[in-house]
Every structure is written in structure tokens, then in C-alpha cells.
Amino acid sequence: MQTKTAHTPSLYPGHVLLTFVLLLTLFELQAQTPWYKSNCPRSQKQAELWYFGEKCGIDFRSGVAAALTDQNAMTAFKASAVICDSLGNLLFFTNGNKVWDRNFTLMPNATGLAGDLGATQPCIIVPNPGNTAQYYVFTVDILKFTDSLNYTTKGLSCTIIDMNERGGLGDAVSSFLNKSILSPVCQKITAVIHKNYRDYWVITHEWDSDKFYAYLITGAGIASPVVSSAGTVNGGHRNNINNSVGYLKASPDGKKLAAAVSQKKLIELFDFNNETGVVSNAKSYTTTKPGVNPYGIEFSPDSRFLYATVFETGGVVQAAAPSFVFQFDTRSGLNNPVIIDSVVGLRVAGMQLATDGRIYLSRTNNILSKRDSLEVIYNPNRPGRACNFDRINNMTGSSFPLLGRKSIYSLPNLVQSFVNVPPFRWDSVCHGNATQFHATNQANADTIFWNFGDGGTSTQPDPVHTFTNPGSYWVTQTQKFNGLSFVDSMLVKNYQLPRIALADTILLYEGSSIQLHAGGGFTDYLWSTNSKDSIIEVKESGSYWAQVEDIHCCINSDTTFVRMFRYMVPNAFSPNGDGLNDVFKVNGLYKNINFRMIVYDRWGTQVFESEDIDKGWDGTVSGQPCPSDSYIWMVNIGFVGKDIITKGDIKFKGTVTLVR
């Protein structure tokens, strides 16, 4: 397998240390993010259900985390992996060794995957961009030293789960089961979406090396890795095996990586190019707390803050040293971390950001004596202790109960893009529609103030606002808590409705048809006839409406009335000057035509000709009255207007009686 290698430069620009001034009454943290959004349903609910630990579960689909006790199948001592479809329906989950379907039963061909339950991150599930029914399950094995130098390991492997198998319950594809990808690797793996928002990067770290391997997952399969040398060497002999331990995480925005190298007491931060897969610009922090080592890693939803857990990793007895949770402001590299809390007697281990904007942390005494709750960082976008570790409304110890289930060291290992949650959401960006705003995370907010950027404001937690004009607006949400203000701004674009203009009324000649065109360039069409084409053919009178939808899922409609008509020709006329039927002519509403009418007497002599439908025969020839008799007429009409289509020119003839 060919590889692309990127080397970290030995010199890189210095970084400016940003100093935040904490006022006594006001701290303002503003993150302006150009979070462009269409009105299309952005169904990204693949991470709305979690299964992990000792039969634990959490449901985030309502927007409020709710503990689950519905599965009694899986135990995962370390990280698990779980995947839903885009609407939040459970598909399957795994501990890296076995796979369970949505009914909590084992998939028959997926009971011996190559992940080791003792690995920090033994598995992760990644969708196949080329097949919506298939998913890649990547697994990681641990190093099994036979002596101080030699070891065995399956390294990084991959299995495809096809959801078309077993009537939609899914199963492993036998031709792609435990396929070897890379060996040896450390106990860490993460994934994030490519810059194209279609493909995925799967990233791991080689053992006894400073190399990251980034595998691009496309519709064509698993591409050759992009290999980057960056940061410290993760390796050594048997006594250095814990250099493979510790989490690897991509930031939700896909621009950074962070890793814990437990035995070296290192926390590392890197730049990640989610277009090329290159890892670069290593920064590191060495913990100095005695008896504890870094393990868990996670980023805040806005990707600014990095969190790490540091705890006593060895032994099965109760931890003698306290666990610590660090926060780093990545804009300053890894300088001056804040210890947001310490926990005595417990091991605070894994960390995972959720779609509710909060970070959950596993907690346990040890592998045998477990706890039935999770720690929570309620406001991870806020700096320092304002992030509210286990604190709701100034009440400390506010952990998340698991209803008797135990997390051990476990939480799900997710594609980080699935938890790339904005500080607030909105449900419509189409002009004229009322837009419902919703603050993603309302924990520890005394008040929420909204400025919609067009002069409108609101103090409602989930306000509704209608923008006066189409355009782009910086919408600002300010949450206040304990006298401090936390500000988030995002660019909201209010799109003009798609332009559709059907004629108010269309005349249609009897026996002919017309094509109604709703316009080109729209993504979806719907007519009152239930047609979904851009053009329909109409042969009958009636009211017809068309609805169009553009790429932003904005909808507009218009209606036209089609009126059937015909040209009427009288069968007699009397040019006696009484004002009634004095002239023989063709009568009709539609006059954008080429017209010709010829009248003959009974012997075939032409007595009248006209190319103007409004000019008829007055019963004379060269000013002399014609006698009462029957006359033959012929009419030819060709339609000029593009708003009507016939089967060709209209040609008809008949006789008319001149009465004197």
C-alpha cells in the first residue's frame, strides 16, 4: 500500500498568548462562527443514542439526555461504538469484539471482531459514503508482549456491516471481515468528516513511531493512508506499553487533533487538515501531578477548548491519588491549563461530547467497584470553572444518573462530526417564514437575550422571529449566569423565495394542448396534477398550481387558470344597417395569431378576403351589395404566442347565408 508522508516543520510561527480579563460583574466570551445553514432538514442524528459500559444507555433525541435501561446485552469496559441512521433510529452497536443489532441481539457473523476490550478506543463506526446501507467498523487490538521486546497484535482491522442483511437487521460481510489495515498501532482511533462533507477521515497512531495514519473513506473504499510524522514517539519495550494508552480525538470542526500519551504524561495538540489528511504543528503539555497520567481527551463544541482527564491508571484498588480534569484554551496552545476540578477516590476516565452540547465523563472506583453515574461538563464552551463541572444552578455534585447501570471506563467513541453542534439552531431560513431559534445548551443560564441583527430582539429562551428582508444577519445569543455574560454569534442567511411566475390566465383552443413550465433550476417540483416534472401538458380548462423548491429547501408556488376557447363563425348575417349581424366575421378571444379568411360565392368566385380577425365581410363586392344566397368561407389561423401550443394551424370552412 502506497503512502503519502508529511513531515512536521522544525520551526513554526509563535503564538500569541491571549489574556482574558475577568471583570467583577461581567465576563464576555464571544465566538463568531459563520454557521451557514439551509432550510433543508439537516438530519444528522447518528449520535443521538448511546450504549456503553455495563449495559448503560442514553437517549438524546428529545434534546434532553435521558438514561436508558432497555439493553441488557453489552458490557464494554473501555470505549464502545454505536450508530443511528440520519433520523436517530438505532442501527447497531459494538464493544469492538461483538456487534448487536437494534433488537439487542447478536449479529451472527459479527461475534469475533478483532478489537480488544482492554484497549482505550477499541472501535469506531464510520458510514460508507458510497452505500447508505453499509458501515465500516474499525477495531483496535492491544499489544501482547511475550517478552521485553516481542509482542503480537492484530493492530487496526476493519469489518463491513451491511444493513440489508437479515431483513434489515444487518450482519457482517463475510468477504470483508477483520480485514487487516495497519499493525502495530496504539490503542487509539478517531474519525471526522472530510472537508467535502461527504467522505470521512479515520485516524490512528502507529506504535513505536511518531507517525499518524489518516485513511480517507470514500465511495470507492478505504484509500491509501496519508502518513504524518508529528509529535512524540509512542512506543518502547514491554515496560513502556502504556505509551499506547490514552485517547485520540479530532475536534468537531475537523481542524485539530489531540492525544493523551499516558506513560509519558503527555497531552498533545496538533493541526489537522481535513482536506489533505496531514497532521502537523505539534504542541505538548507534560502533567506534573504525582501518581496520575492523562487518559481521556475531548474538545468543546466550538473546538476552542481542549479537556483532558488525568487519573491513577494502574491498579484495581481504589485510587489513592485524586483524578483531575484539565481545560486548555487551544488559541494559546497548551499553555497555562486550568484544573476545573479534582475528584478524590474515583477514576474519571473517558470523555465524550454529546449533541446536547455537554461533555460526559465516565467515572469508576476501579474495574470491579463501579459507579452508576457520569460526570458532566455542562458548559464546555465557557472558560475555566465557568464550564460548570458537575454543577447546575450553583449546585455541586450534579452528576448524570445511569439508573443503576455502570459506566466503568466506557463511553461511546463517535465520529466527531456527528457532535459538531452549534450554540443555537434555527428551523427556517426562507424569507417570509417565521424562524424558530433554539439554544442548544441552556444549562446554567439565568437569562438568554437574542439580537437578530435586523433590529429585532427577544428574551425568550426559544424565540420566533421573522426577518423583514432577505439577506445575511449576525444573530447573537447572550446567556447570563451569576452576573457573567457568554456571547455566541452566528451568521444566519435569510434566503429569497424561489421565483416562479405562471401567467394569471391562459387561453387554450379547443382540442389543442398547452405546456405549463414552472421554470428551471429547482430541486423539486409538485403540480396540482401530482406531477413532479418541471413541465406539464394541459388539455382541459381549470386552475393549475405549481410548487417549486430550491437548493435551500425554500418553497414558493403560483397558480394559473387555463380557459378553453374556440372560434365561433355565424351561419347567417343580414347587412341591413340595424346593428345586428351586419357583418360576417370570426369571433374569438385569442388574437395573437396569423389570420386569413376567404369568402366565395356558389360559383367559386372570391368575394372577400381578410387578414384581420376583427375585419369582417359586409356583404358587398367593390361597394356593390351581393345578393341573398349561400356563400362558402375558409379560415386559416396560425398561433404566434408562446403561451399556447396547438397541433398546427387551425383550418376550417363552412357556408354562411346572406339575408337581405
Percent of the residues in the chain that have a pLDDT greater than 70, as a whole number: 92
381 vs 260, 285, 443, CA distance in Å?
21, 21, 12
User: pTM score, two decimals?
Assistant: 0.79
384 and 490, same domain (yes or no): no
Query: Within 10 Å of residue 484's Cβ, how many Cβ atoms?
Result: 20
Phi, psi of 80 (to 5 degrees): -110, -175
CATH number at residue 513: 2.60.40.10
Q: Are 140 and 187 in contact (CB under 8 A)?
A: yes
Residue 27 pLDDT greater than 70, yes or no: no
Q: Are 586 and 613 in contact (CB under 8 A)?
A: yes
How many whole angstroms separate alpha carbon 74 and alpha carbon 62? Answer: 24
Mean local confidence (pLDDT), 480-496: 93
Residue type for position 604: G
CATH number at residue 652: 2.60.40
Domain end marker among 520, 550, 565: 565
3-state secondary structure string, 81-145?
EEEECCCCCEEEEECCCCEEECCCCECCCCCCCCCCCCCCCCEEEEECCCCCCEEEEEEECCCEE
Whether 633 is in a domain gets the answer yes
526 and 436, same domain (yes or no): no
177 and 271, same domain (yes or no): yes
- pLDDT tens digits, 538-573: 989 999 999 999 988 899 999 999 988 889 999 999
- pLDDT tens digits, 209-231: 999 999 999 999 999 999 999 99
52 and 97, same domain (yes or no): yes
- pLDDT tens digits, 632-648: 999 999 888 766 656 67
Residue 362 pLDDT greater than 60, yes or no: yes
324 and 461, same domain (yes or no): no
- pLDDT tens digits, 313-359: 876 677 888 899 999 999 988 988 999 999 888 889 999 999 999 99
Domain end marker among 437, 464, 494: 494
pLDDT at 40: 64
Domain that holds residue 582: 572-658
- pLDDT tens digits, 511-521: 778 889 999 99
541 and 598, same domain (yes or no): no
Whether 36 is in a domain gets the answer no
C-alpha grid cell for residue 437?
431559534
310 and 340, same domain (yes or no): yes
Whether 22 is in a domain gets the answer no
Cα–chain center distance at 62: 18
Whether 14 is in a domain gets the answer no
pLDDT at 509: 80
109 and 253, same domain (yes or no): yes
pLDDT at 41: 57
Query: Within 10 Å of residue 621's Cβ, how many Cβ atoms?
Result: 15
536 and 618, same domain (yes or no): no
Whether 454 is in a domain gets the answer yes
| Sign (positive or negative) of CA dihedral 154, 137, 402, 313 | positive
Domain end marker among 565, 591, 611: 565
Mean pLDDT of the chain: 90
Mean local confidence (pLDDT), 105-125: 97
Residue 43 pLDDT greater than 50, yes or no: yes
Instruction: State the total domains in the chain.
Output: 4
552 and 411, same domain (yes or no): no
How many whole angstroms separate alpha carbon 308 and alpha carbon 292? Answer: 12
C-alpha grid cell for residue 368?
470491579
How many whole angstroms separate alpha carbon 277 and alpha carbon 53? Answer: 31
